[in-house]
């Protein structure tokens, strides 16, 4: 049965949106999430089984793999605060590198040999050129980026030794919320630009700081490739279908190919909401690259993935609908 899958981190931001899309396609889904950062309320389909636990808990994993015949694992579970990874690298190497090895070992034990891994453009480090394609050198700067890079490297060895097939999905800037406003982006603490902007608009938070205005970009602020969370989710579904059809292991970027500066995002948020964004100009944030934009042609070619959301204003609109909708945007 190719329809029973394990989703680690399925209660997190990107995981929960992907789980919703998969559940609508009749996949039988077991979510494993320790709920450190995930929200159980973000799992909205009754058909989805939530197991609260850790990807490093060997006994629990053995039990789960004995109970279910998983055909594939979607591995979202990870810590993802770049700044925190600099001050506490141990936390990142344990959670993002060491613990997943227990998951990989259990998969091999049970001959579950399809793995879809949430990787990141942070594995490339500071771009030598943009847009970034998958053959750009990987020189990650932060322990977060390194942790994702290291796990990529290890997974390749599981392919060589055990025939594990993988798709590495290297996300650019995940953003937006579900179209019906039911689930959205709710990090605690929140560090991401779009939710901080929307909070500043409503007064839920102080004015946002624009980190750096002297970058070599047209308006001096950093440029990012914002990709809608459901587009990311759909890429996972395509990747799963690709491996189910016998596709070879693959690493793909997931982005729109379009870059927006911080000031352009602020302007788009003002247009979408009809309200001013309180902001102040500030110093650069350590570790930020000037411009991160994807060349995502490989995902189109290999997976047939073409993101629906290409306009930043459409992405912001979904985030705004979630924030101002009946759920009031908080879990």
The residues annotated with a catalytic role in the active site are: 144
Helix runs in the chain, H state only? 13-23, 58-67, 82-87, 89-93, 99-109, 143-162, 193-202, 229-244, 262-273, 297-298, 312-324
Q: How far is the CB of 14 from ligand UDP (least distance, A)?
A: 13
**Minimum CB distance to ligand UDP smaller for 141 or for 298:** 141
SS3 of residue 94 by DSSP: helix
Cβ at position 215, least distance to ligand UDP in Å: 8
Site of tokens 């630009």: 193
Spatial separation of the C-alpha atoms in residues 325 and 101, rounded to whole Å? 40
Nearest to ligand UDP of 34, 173 (CB atom):
173
Residue ranges in contact with ligand UDP by CB under 6 A: 173, 191-193, 196, 208-211, 222, 224, 262, 285, 288
User: Toward ligand UDP, which CB reaches closer, 167 or 196?
Assistant: 196
Query: Nearest Cα to 318, choosing from 181, 172, 225?
Result: 181
- Of 285 and 297, nearer to ligand UDP (C-beta) is 285
Q: Are 106 and 45 a contacting pair, CB within 8 Å?
A: no
Residue 5 burial (C-beta neighbours within 10 Å; 0-12, 13-18, 19+): buried
Instruction: State in angstroms the smallest separation of the CB of 102 from ligand UDP.
Output: 28
Cα–Cα distances in Å, from 267 out to 32, 130, 273, 276, 290?
39, 24, 10, 9, 19
CA 105 to chain centre: 23
CB-based contact 62:100 (threshold 8 Å):
no
Q: Which C-beta is closer to ligand UDP: that of 262 or that of 315?
A: 262
């Amino acid at each position: 049965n190719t329809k029973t899958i394990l989703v680690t981190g399925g209660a997190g931001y990107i995981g929960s949106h992907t789980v919703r899309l998969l559940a609508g396609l009749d996949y039988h889904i077991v979510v494993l999430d320790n709920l450190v950062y995930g929200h159980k309320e973000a799992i909205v389909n009754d058909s989805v089984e939530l197991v609260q636990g850790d990807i490093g808990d060997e006994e629990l994993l053995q039990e789960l793999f004995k109970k279910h015949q998983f055909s594939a694992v979607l591995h979202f579970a990870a810590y993802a605060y770049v700044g925190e990874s600099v001050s506490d690298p141990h936390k990142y190497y344990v959670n993002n590198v060491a613990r997943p090895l227990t998951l990989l070992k259990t998969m091999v034990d049970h001959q579950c040999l399809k793995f879809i891994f949430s990787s990141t453009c942070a594995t490339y480090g500071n771009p030598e050129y943009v847009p970034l394609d998958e053959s750009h050198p990987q020189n990650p700067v932060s322990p977060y980026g390194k942790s994702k890079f290291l796990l990529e490297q290890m997974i390749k060895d599981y392919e060589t030794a055990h025939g594990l097939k993988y798709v590495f999905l290297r996300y650019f800037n995940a953003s937006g919320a579900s179209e019906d406003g039911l689930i959205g982006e709710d990090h605690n603490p929140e560090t991401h630009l779009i939710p901080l902007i929307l909070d500043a608009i409503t007064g839920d938070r102080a004015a946002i700081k624009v980190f750096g205005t002297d970058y070599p970009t047209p308006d001096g602020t950093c440029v990012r490739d914002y990709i809608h969370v459901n587009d990311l989710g759909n890429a996972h579904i395509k990747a799963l279908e690709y491996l189910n059809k016998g596709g070879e292991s693959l690493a793909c970027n997931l982005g729109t190919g379009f870059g927006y500066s911080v000031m352009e995002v602020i302007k788009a948020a003002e247009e979408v909401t009809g309200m001013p964004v309180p902001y102040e100009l500030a110093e650069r944030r350590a570790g930020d690259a000037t411009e991160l934009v994807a060349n995502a042609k490989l995902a189109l070619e290999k997976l047939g993935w073409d993101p629906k959301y290409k306009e930043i204003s459409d992405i912001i609109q979904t985030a705004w609908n979630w924030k101002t909708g009946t759920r009031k945007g908080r879990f």
